[in-house]
Amino acid sequence: MKSLIVYSSQTGNTLKLAKVIYDELKGKKEMFSIDEAPSPEGFDLVAVGFWFQGGKPDPKAVAYLSKCSKPSRAFLFSTHGAAKDSAHVKSAMDYAVGLTNGGAIAGMFTCQGEVNPKVLEKVPVPALAAGF
Ligand SMILES: Cc1cc2nc3c(=O)[nH]c(=O)nc-3n(C[C@H](O)[C@H](O)[C@H](O)COP(=O)(O)O)c2cc1C
């Protein structure tokens, strides 16, 4: 089994998840920042991690996920400011799955990350907790 872990992370939250996934995966594995990631072709499992921007996966992840269609098996993971069980998170993850265009989804994991204080100045905390 040959796995590829690709992460998009601006402030480090998603990178923390990527490192845990890397440590836990068995078999051959490689991990790259999304800026340096190879094509997902040829890997048995491709784990793609991203943060949310504007209610969607961040733009770099949107571009990469579009390359993860058949026959790659994708595991999606993300961090976000909104509450884990919110409609906001479900909608963004559904959007991410849609981008894989029929690629098999091996699993998903999401959790709240720390939100940059500059973002919180513009978006009050209760709004984030309510899922924007
Ligand atoms: C410009 C900007 C836009 C954001 N938009 C959202 C959003 O739409 N929904 C959300 O839940 N979190 C949003 N966040 C919060 C980030 O997704 C969250 O802090 C994430 O954990 C950052 O991951 P990173 O540390 O890997 O970059 C936004 C953050 C920034 C900086």
Asked if residues 82 and 88 have their Cβ atoms less than 8 Å apart, the reply is: yes
Residue-level pLDDT at 66:
92
Domain that holds residue 116: 2-129
Which residues, including other chains, have CB under 8 Å from residue 27's CB and lie 6 or more apart?
1, 2, 3
Region 90-118 average pLDDT = 90
Question: Residue 58 CA: which ligand 1 atom is closest?
Answer: 17
DSSP state of 34: G
Residue 47 belongs to a domain with what CATH number? 3.40.50.360
Residue-level pLDDT at 63:
96
Residue-level pLDDT at 119:
74
Q: In the predicted model, is pLDDT for residue 23 greater than 90?
A: yes
Question: Residue 9 CA: which ligand 1 atom is closest?
Answer: 26
Q: In the predicted model, is pLDDT for residue 65 greater than 90?
A: yes
Residue-level pLDDT at 93:
97
The residues lining ligand 1, judged by C-beta closer than 6 Å to any ligand atom, are: 9-15, 51-55, 79-82, 88, 113, 115-116, 119, 132
Mean pLDDT score of the chain: 90
Number of folded domains that form the chain: 1
Q: What is the pTM of this model?
A: 0.91
Among 4, 83, 84, smallest CA distance to 36 is for 4
Q: Write the pLDDT tens digit of every residue in 74-92.
A: 999 999 999 999 999 999 9
Residue-level pLDDT at 124:
59
Region 40-44 average pLDDT = 92
